Structure formats: structure tokens, C-alpha cells
């Protein structure tokens, strides 16, 4: 697993500055949340870390080393999206196997790894089902298993529970948190849901309009909000 450091990260789209010098420091094995309203720049930040999107200024370090010039496929990062993006024409087994095939891992090794992942996300018996034949929670577990197949050092979750109904959402939050603790994988969760951030995170970065207002433990966000904005979200006093 890796520590992650984001230093003065800046990004503009069409001259509109959507990330304004973002700084974040995440210890190895920690889970943190990026919490903020729609449009504040959460997905942009994750996509930049994943290497799907480039950036204008700043740097990203894994274990102290810049990953600026490392292409997406070699970053040891996995990203899971709200919409799962499973391949509809592949069954559960094949979806999870996909990344391993890309990496040219041998068939017997692939089978072993996929079976481990199926056990891990508790999808035994569903190997031959297609995405259209399983529930939202199961699809999300396939997406998570697929992302873990490449043994990422950093896991990025972009509002992974938003499409799930409320009961399933709670169950999946607990499931992912248990998995994170078990694997001790450095994780960044993007969410606009305060309760979710509170339940799942060692630390929360409160993001508003392309800026991180405060990056702190849930306790400190409650007890020592550093601004009116943060106090309005968390604070007992303003």
C-alpha cells in the first residue's frame, strides 16, 4: 500500500479554475473522504489521481515519488464509479478476470485470483451470471472485485453507493469498510453524503468550489471547524 500526497494541484476546464491548489496527505492504509456538493471538483480530483485526466500545476506523490509521468495502467491505482461500468457481454467471472487478462497473467493463475476475489466479495454461485441478471449491490461488488484484481496500492471510490437503495447502501458501506480494514488499502472515497463520510473515514476533506476548506478527523470537524462553511456542515457552534 502507498501513502498519497497531493501538492498544490490545479486544474482548469476552458479557463475555469475547478481545482484551486488542492493539498492532501493520506497515510498508508487510511481511508479518507472528499466531501462536498455536486460540481465542487471531487471527480476531477479522483480522475487526475487515476491518470484518466491531466492537470495544470502541482504534483501527486505515492510513497514520496511523483507519479506525474506514470501512465494510468502503471499507477497501481483502481477506480470504482457510481455506474459500475461492467461489461454487459461478460459474466461475473469474466468481468473480474478482465484486468488480469490485460496484464497477460496465465490462465491457471487468473482462475485462482478470480476465485479469491469472488470469495472476498461473497459472490460465490454468481460466476456465470451476467450484469443484467444481478442486483445493484452485486454489480458494485463485481466492480470492486474487478478493481482489486490488479492489486492496487490505492483505491479510489467515486460515489460508489449513490445508485443503491437506502438499505443496500448501508450494507455496502459496511461491506466496503470491512474490506478496506481487512486489506488495509489506502482509499479515497468521494461522496456528497455527510453521514457516509462520517461513518467511513479516518479523515474528511471538506471541499467547496474547488478548494479544500478543512481536512481533519470527524471529531475535529465537529469540535474545531475552521470556517463558517465547515461549521455549517458539521459544527455545533458557528
**Residue 18 interaction partner, one of ligand ADP, Mg ion, none, beta carbon < 5-8 Å per kind:** ligand ADP
- Phi and psi at 225, nearest 5°, equal -60, 135
Question: Binding of ligand ADP at residue 141 (CB under 6 A)?
Answer: no
d(CA 31, CA 204): 9
Half-sphere exposure at residue 171, Cβ-oriented, CA atoms within 13 angstroms: 12
Question: Binding of ligand ADP at residue 49 (CB under 6 A)?
Answer: no
Question: Binding of ligand ADP at residue 169 (CB under 6 A)?
Answer: no
Q: How far is the CB of 206 from ligand ADP (least distance, A)?
A: 12
Question: Binding of ligand ADP at residue 38 (CB under 6 A)?
Answer: yes
Closest to Mg ion by CB, 45 or 91: 45
Sign of CA dihedral 185, 186, 191, 194: positive
Question: Binding of ligand ADP at residue 189 (CB under 6 A)?
Answer: no
**Residue 99 interaction partner, one of Mg ion, ligand ADP, none, beta carbon < 5-8 Å per kind:** none
d(CA 125, CA 45): 37
Near ligand ADP by CB under 6 A: residue from 1, 2, 4, 41: 41
Q: How far is the CB of 188 from Mg ion (least distance, A)?
A: 13
Q: Which residues contact 108 (CB under 8 A, 6 or more apart)?
A: none
The bridge status of strand 203-208 relative to strand 31-35 is parallel
Q: Which residues contact 192 (CB under 8 A, 6 or more apart)?
A: 35, 36, 37, 38, 42, 159
Closest to ligand ADP by CB, 97 or 158: 158
Closest to Mg ion by CB, 43 or 91: 43
The phi-psi region of residue 199 (left if phi > 0; otherwise alpha if psi is between -120 and 50; otherwise beta) is: alpha
Closest to ligand ADP by CB, 38 or 238: 38
Q: Which stretches of the chain bind ligand ADP, using CB under 6 A?
A: 13-14, 18, 36, 38-44
Amino acid at each position: 500500500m502507498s501513502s498519497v500526497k497531493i501538492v498544490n494541484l490545479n486544474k482548469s476546464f476552458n479557463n475555469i479554475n475547478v481545482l484551486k491548489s488542492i493539498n492532501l496527505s493520506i497515510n498508508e492504509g487510511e481511508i479518507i473522504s472528499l466531501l462536498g456538493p455536486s460540481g465542487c471538483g471531487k471527480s476531477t480530483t479522483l480522475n487526475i489521481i487515476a491518470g484518466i485526466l491531466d492537470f495544470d500545476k502541482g504534483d501527486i506523490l505515492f510513497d514520496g515519488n511523483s507519479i506525474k509521468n506514470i501512465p494510468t495502467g502503471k499507477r497501481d491505482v483502481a477506480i470504482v464509479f457510481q455506474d459500475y461500468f461492467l461489461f454487459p457481454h461478460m459474466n461475473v467471472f469474466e468481468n473480474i478476470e478482465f484486468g488480469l487478462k490485460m496484464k497477460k497473467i496465465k490462465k491457471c493463475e487468473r482462475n485462482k485470483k478470480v476465485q479469491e476475489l469472488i470469495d472476498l466479495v461473497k459472490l460465490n454461485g454468481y460466476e456465470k451470471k451476467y450484469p443484467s441478471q444481478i442486483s445493484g449491490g452485486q454489480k458494485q461488488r463485481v466492480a470492486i472485485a474487478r478493481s482489486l484484481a490488479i492489486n492496487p496500492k490505492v483505491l479510489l471510490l467515486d460515489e460508489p453507493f449513490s445508485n443503491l437503495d437506502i438499505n443496500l447502501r448501508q450494507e455496502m458501506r459496511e461491506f466496503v469498510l470491512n474490506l478496506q480494514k481487512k486489506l488495509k488499502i489506502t482509499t479515497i472515497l468521494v461522496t456528497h453524503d455527510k453521514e457516509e463520510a462520517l461513518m467511513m473515514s479516518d479523515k474528511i476533506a471538506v471541499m467547496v468550489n474547488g478548494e479544500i476548506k478543512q481536512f481533519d478527523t470527524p471529531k475535529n470537524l465537529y469540535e474545531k471547524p475552521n470556517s463558517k462553511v465547515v461549521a455549517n456542515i458539521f459544527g455545533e457552534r458557528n
